[in-house]
Each structure stands twice: as structure tokens, then as C-alpha cells.
Amino acid sequence: MTTLPRSSRLASPVDTDAYGEYRIPNPDPLYRFTGRIEHGVAGRYHLYAGWFCPWSHRATLALELAGLHDAVSVSYVDNARDGRGWAFRERYGPDPVNGFTLLRQAYERTEPGFDGHISVPTLWDRATGTVLSNDYRTIGIDFATRFRDVATPVVDTYPDRLRDEIEALTGWLAPGVALAPRLADFDERLAGRAYLVGATVTEADIRLYVALIRHGGLAGWPNLQAYARHLYTIPAFHATTEVFAV
């Protein structure tokens, strides 16, 4: 196989004059690909992520805590986009799986003429050569639960016995939902305890941490501030966090 020069596998710079602003022609449903991993196979899946994106951050955290660093590959799109959507540029390098310059190409290969939302995280299935999922709500859960035969998790972040409590406590955390009204509740809950649910890190902590470090202004919430700083010392959290200013 001929390897393309690095420069030929990178998108041109963001240019809204030429390509316009990003828009979604058909946003219903917003997350069109909702496939699930039935049985994890090492090397089969690739995660397209974005350092800027809280929903990608959930997925990369779940991946690291599930011990999948060597089983599921990850690459990152550029932080800025124009009408073409997310792209692969010099800062984070080319697409190592398909050589796409635009993430849009993955969606169009999966669904010719794709007119929906091009988002991260996007889970690519090498075996089928298609996007399996761009549903941030389930990608991390599948990382936590579907790879036990190929990797030993650092911690079980979604144990059966705690799933209802995790969802009741943090299931509402989603794009566009304000965190501020609940800070007092979380701060009170964390008085005298290290984690939101149970005795170790769970999916609930992943969700809250990702929201907290992007919220900022935790000086008035000492338990939340100490909690976020503690989680940041855990290798998986540290490795997947680009900016920490809590």
C-alpha cells in the first residue's frame, strides 16, 4: 500500500468565506447512528474524538478507565470547523485509519448523501468500514461493559448494582442543560465522600467531572473543587484532560 504524504492527508485551513459556517441540513434525529457494540474485539473500533468536546471527553475517559488504551484506537479532529464540519489538520495530525481529511467522509461512506449532524465522538467500525455510532450517550457505556474478554478494566464504572442510581443522579447531564442550579446539591452530596456513587469512580463521576472542569468558578463550592482536583490526579482523568483550571 502506498503511504500518502502527511500534507496530502490534512484538510485545508478553516475558511468560512469559502465554505460558510457549519450547519445541519437535517437534524432529526440529531444522532443518526446509534449502533451498539455487542462484543468488544481488540483492534476493531476506532474513536474519532475532539479535545474541545465534553461528550468526546466522556468517551475517552470511559475508554481509559475500561483499560482499552491498546484495544480501541483514538484520534482527534481539529478544534475549529467551517461549513465542511470537523477536519483533520496539523495540530492533531491526520486520520490514521482511513486517511480522511474531513470527518464528513466517514459519514458519507456510511450513508451516501448524508445530510445530518457530523459530531464527535464518532465510533468507527473497521470490520464494516462504517460509522457504528455517534451517540455520545452510549459509546462510553459500551466501552465500560462490552470489552471484558479483551481488557481488564482499571475500575468498573458501570456496575449492574449502581446503574439505576447513576442514571437517576446524572442522567440529566446533557448538552445545553445548565449545571449551576445543581451545584449546591452536588457539593452537599460530596461532603465526606470521594465519589458520587459507591466507593470508586463510576460513570456518574465521569459525567460530573467533564461538566465541572468546563464550568469553572468552583471557589464557592469547596467539596466540588476538592473532588475535581482529586479526580484530576487519577491517571485516566489527567491523560484525557487538555485544560484543567478548577
Domain end position, chosen among 118, 145, 172:
145
| Residue 192, in any domain of the structure | yes
* 184 and 140 co-located in one domain: no
Instruction: Write out pLDDT tens, residues 144-182.
Output: 999 999 999 999 999 999 999 999 999 999 877 889 999
Beta-ladder partners of 25:
none
Domain end position, chosen among 80, 110, 145:
145
Instruction: Write out pLDDT tens, residues 56-109.
Output: 999 999 999 999 999 999 999 999 999 999 999 999 999 999 999 999 999 999
| Residue 152, in any domain of the structure | no
pLDDT band, very low/low/confident/very high, at 232 (cuts 50, 70, 90): very high
> By percentage, how much of the chain surpasses pLDDT 70?
97
Query: Could you give the C-alpha distances from 78 to 4, 46, 54, 220, in angstroms and in order?
Result: 20, 17, 15, 34
| Residue 214, in any domain of the structure | yes
* 117 and 213 co-located in one domain: no
Q: How many CB atoms lie within 10 A of CB 126?
A: 15
* 129 and 196 co-located in one domain: no
Closest-CA residue to 120 (of 87, 145, 148): 87
* 78 and 34 co-located in one domain: yes
* 73 and 166 co-located in one domain: no
Cα angle 236, 238, 242; round to 5: 120
pLDDT of residue 8: 59
* 111 and 199 co-located in one domain: no
Domain that holds residue 215: 160-240
| Residue 134, in any domain of the structure | yes
The count of domains in the chain is: 2
Instruction: List the beta strands (DSSP E) in the chain.
Output: 45-49, 73-76, 122-125, 130-133
* One-letter amino acid of 192: G
- Calculate the average pLDDT of the chain: 94
* 63 and 173 co-located in one domain: no
* 109 and 190 co-located in one domain: no
Q: How far apart are CA 70 and CA 117, in angstroms?
A: 29
* 20 and 89 co-located in one domain: yes
* One-letter amino acid of 109: R
* 132 and 225 co-located in one domain: no
Give the domain CATH number at 234: 1.20.1050.10
Q: What is the DSSP string of 216-236?
A: ---TT-HHHHHHHHHHHTSHH
Query: Could you give the C-alpha distances from 11 to 32, 59, 96, 117, 202, in angstroms and in order?
Result: 24, 25, 14, 19, 37
| Residue 153, in any domain of the structure | no
Instruction: Write out pLDDT tens, residues 104-136.
Output: 999 999 999 999 999 999 999 999 999 999 999
* 134 and 180 co-located in one domain: no
| Residue 223, in any domain of the structure | yes
Give the domain CATH number at 11: 3.40.30.10
| Residue 29, in any domain of the structure | yes
Domain end position, chosen among 145, 180, 200:
145
| Residue 245, in any domain of the structure | no
pTM of the model: 0.94
